[in-house]
Structure 1
């Protein structure tokens, strides 16, 4: 019982050329199966990011990357611009990495194809960019916190 009939030819279980795990009595597992299970979801999200045209960005690079991922998730999950904006705002308001400093105002999100704005925002908390693949423009900023005198 050293060699079995496999794939129409005698073969040892480890020498079989058939990639199916059921071949040779299921005696081996392909290395690629183990690697596929270990794919990092964050790395997959980064690989799936469409091209972004940045008009203005003063948010930290790591947060801007997270923000792009959130925006693409919102675009995939929602059709209406108001729902896309609400999805992004909810994520930003509830994510601790976007709310490290206490006393800052809430996040504001504007999504559309054509709009004008005049805003006042916290420093280092504003970005304005397009995602051409979805033909949408995003203006995301953190409004000023309440000033006490």
Structure 2
């Protein structure tokens, strides 16, 4: 089967060439994926830093809790030692060891008004309000005793 011959001289080629432009293919999808992964990486890094900060703060809280527990144990032991030292039986035994004997009678001595005024000025308490309130905890009662005794700084 033979093809007929075509006269090529009759076909005219255009004198002006069409302008060709370079088109970028699929760049937007790649940018969206890269930005998404970068945002996810930054978010995970921020969460890791936050988690580290929380762990450090929790460690400090645990240390404070341990110190509070030790201080409470020390306070309880010191309070029991104080109670033992102030017990009437011990005071009686120590007094007898120092050749002291119980009083046979008691009497009230008058207080000099100047001494009373100095005491009220130093403690900030009048004799009518010298009783400790019932709602104070053991540490507050101890602090009050030290203040009245003139031991507080």
- Give me the TM-score of the superposition, normalised by structure 2: 0.23
The one of the two structures with greater contact order (alpha-carbon pairs below 8 A, sep at least 6) is 1
User: Which of the pair is proportionally richer in helix?
Assistant: 2
